[in-house]
Amino acid sequence: MATKKKSASKAAPSPAVDRDTAKALAKIAVRPSTNAAAVISEYGKMFGDHDINDLMNELVDSIEKVNDGDMKRCEGMLMGQAQALQSIFTNLARRASNQEYLKNYEAFMRMALKAQSQCRQTLETLSNIKNPPVVYAKQANISNGPQQINNGMPAQAPHAAENQKQPNKLLEVQHGERLDTGTASQTIGGNQAMAALE
């Protein structure tokens, strides 16, 4: 029976790299500015070669401005992306109109409408940054037992002052007549012809 050799897929850590260096590299690897700089250097080659450190420093400045509340660069970025998406939509829609076969026409129009939808979403995001929507909190009063909700001071009813002046006891005399005579009256016989059914 042949036995398979175990491949050494796990690389042994280099003894030259000490623990502090490994920690520093891990910190750099998860920084947003470092990740963005790596992507920009790869996709931004049309602007020439970039020094990764210069890119990271520029991105750190940009991030700090946003953290301080300056959204000008973000607004500019969104507007630029909306314009680019509009150009993509226009190009693809024009190319779709020149297609002879339905399959090609449909493919170009689908991509054109996706670009148009992304353009609309980008402009909507820009609008929300410039004019944040007002959020109204709705309160749901759901309870499985006794519940009391006090939403501020209640308005006093116009007749509340009248009720406070009256004594909190039974009224004995009203309009000069005694309301309860205090004597028990005799019951009357009622209709004797109506007898109870068996």
Is residue 20 predicted with pLDDT exceeding 70? Answer: yes
> 86 and 106, same structural domain?
yes
Tell me if 116 is assigned to some domain: yes
Q: Does 4 score more than 60 pLDDT? A: no
166: in domain: no
Residue 3 lies in a domain: no
77 and 36, same domain (yes or no): no
How far is residue 114's CA from residue 94's CA, in Å, rounded to a whole number? 15
Query: How does the average pLDDT of the chain come out, rounded?
Result: 79
Query: In whole angstroms, what is the distance from residue 167 CA to residue 164 CA?
Result: 8
Report pLDDT digits (tens) over 112-128. Answer: 999 999 999 999 999 99
- Give domain status of residue 107, yes or no: yes
* Whole-number pLDDT of residue 96: 96
120 in any annotated domain: yes
Residue 197, pLDDT above cutoff 70: no
41 and 55 both lie in a single domain: yes
pTM > 0.85: no
State pLDDT tens for residues 28-70: 889 889 999 989 888 888 888 888 889 999 999 999 999 999 9
Domain final residue, candidates 132, 148, 165: 132
Cα–Cα distance for residue pair 32/63, rounded to 1 Å: 9
Picking from 107, 132, 157, the residue at the C-terminal end of a domain is 132
Query: Is a pLDDT exceeding 90 seen at residue 167?
Result: no
Q: Which of 12-26, 134-148, 179-193 has the highest mean pLDDT?
A: 12-26
Number of domains in the chain: 2
Domain assignment present for 26:
yes
Tell me if 66 is assigned to some domain.
Answer: yes
| pLDDT (0 to 100) of residue 45 | 85
Name the residue with tokens 């309860």: 180
- Indicate whether 97 pLDDT > 80: yes
Burial class (CB in 10 A: 0-12, 13-18, 19+), 122: buried
How many whole angstroms separate alpha carbon 171 and alpha carbon 180? 9
Residue 178 bridge partners (DSSP): 173
Residues in CB range of 22: below 8 A, 6 or more apart: 13
**Structural domain ending residue among the three candidates 87, 107, 132:** 132
More confident residue, 157 or 41: 41
* Predicted local confidence at residue 135, as pLDDT: 75
Burial class (CB in 10 A: 0-12, 13-18, 19+), 161: exposed
Query: For residue 134, what pLDDT band results from cuts at 50, 70 and 90?
Result: confident
Please compute the mean of the pLDDT values over residues 162-191 and round it to a whole number: 62
pLDDT at 113: 97
pLDDT at 138: 65
Q: What is the mean pLDDT of residues 143-159?
A: 65
**Two structure tokens written together for 138:** 């709705």
Residue 174: beta bridge partners?
Answer: 177
In a domain, 151, yes or no: no
Q: What is the per-residue pLDDT across 71-89, written as a single tens digit (0 to 9) for each?
A: 999 999 999 999 999 999 9
Q: How many CB atoms lie within 10 A of CB 75?
A: 14
User: Which structural domain, as residue segments, surrounds residue 37?
Assistant: 20-70
